[in-house]
Amino acid sequence: DAKTTQPTSMDCAEGRAANLPCNHSTISGNEYVYWYRQIHSQGPQYIIHGLKNNETNEMASLIITEDRKSSTLILPHATLRDTAVYYCIVRVGGSYNNNDMRFGAGTRLTVKP
Amino acid sequence: NAGVTQTPKFRILKIGQSMTLQCTQDMNHNYMYWYRQDPGMGLKLIYYSVGAGITDKGEVPNGYNVSRSTTEDFPLRLELAAPSQTSVYFCASSYPTDTEAFFGQGTRLTVV
């Protein structure tokens, strides 16, 4: 089973920030938090990842709590094209034989005009 | 750059038939994964591989087999297809370090 829990769905107004939460209370010290999104039935697309520090790239920001048990993905100015299912996963970094990558159900974000 | 390529894109199988879903990547990634996605659901891990010659079961391996004879290719074999295997199948690959995974565009399989 997935190691994360996310709300089933969220709405956001176009142009506003979208804040997507994720709980990963059993995360291990060597596990990273990754976010992907899936638009329609396309293959998932990588957004961002982090270990313990907050991260920002051209797509989004990732805020990880100090105890690393939860995180928030922030899309600063959501557009209609950001409507998608967003997946939060945890994954070990480095070469381990048990390095699988499991997805949960994700959060369906709908950006409304 | 081709990235992760899956073939075929669509396929209809009859119950009891077998087929191989092909996945190849040109990024020299060690790790490769197979997922299935049923309508309205998230991705479920079927099998994964951390390198040539090494494979391991994921969450839903029953009814499937895999092999990894080269770094580039990770085929998924369905034996005795069943209607429950109707799904969209995604292949992914990544380096073993803390980097992103790349996904193919999927194979939509219908078993009738």
Average pLDDT, chain A: 92
Banded pLDDT at A98 (limits 50, 70, 90): low
The Cα-based distances of A98 to A12, B3, B38, B106 in angstroms read 37, 24, 25, 24
B8: preceding bond cis by omega (within 30 degrees)? yes
Residue B65 CA, distance from chain mean position? 10
C-alpha dihedral over A97, B109, A109, A3, to 10 degrees?
-30
What does the pLDDT read at residue A94? 61
What does the pLDDT read at residue A93? 65
What does the pLDDT read at residue B76? 98
pLDDT in tens, A36-51: 999 988 999 999 999 9
Is B103 in contact with A97 (Cβ distance < 8 A)?
no
What does the pLDDT read at residue A96? 59
Residues in A whose CB is inside 8 Å of some CB of B read 1-2, 32, 34, 36, 41-46, 49, 51, 85, 87, 91, 93-106
Beta-carbon neighbour count of residue A98 at 10 Å?
8
Whole-number Å distance between alpha carbons of B1 and A4: 32
pLDDT at A97 exceeding the cut of 70:
no
pLDDT at A1 exceeding the cut of 70:
no
- Looking at residue A36, its amino acid is Y
Q: Which residues of chain B have a CB within 8 Å of the CB of A93?
A: 97-98
- The distance of B111 to chain A (nearest Cα, Å) reads 19
pLDDT in tens, A9-34: 999 999 999 999 999 999 988 889 99
What does the pLDDT read at residue A91? 83
Q: Which residues of chain B have a CB within 8 Å of the CB of A32?
A: 98
Nearest to B90 by CA among A101, A35, A50, A47: A101
Residues of chain B with pLDDT under 50: none
Q: Where are the beta strands (DSSP E) in chain B?
A: 4-7, 10-13, 19-25, 31-37, 43-51, 54-57, 64-66, 76-78, 87-94, 102-103, 107-111
Contact B6, B107 (CB under 8 A): yes
Nearest CB partner across the interface for A43, out of B50, B97, B105: B105
Q: Which residues pair with B12 in a beta bridge?
A: B110
**Looking at chain B, which residue has its C-alpha nearest residue A31?**
B98
Whole-number Å distance between alpha carbons of B112 and B110: 6
Is A92 strand, coil or helix?
strand
- Mean of pLDDT values over A66-77: 96
First and final C-alpha spacing in chain A: 35
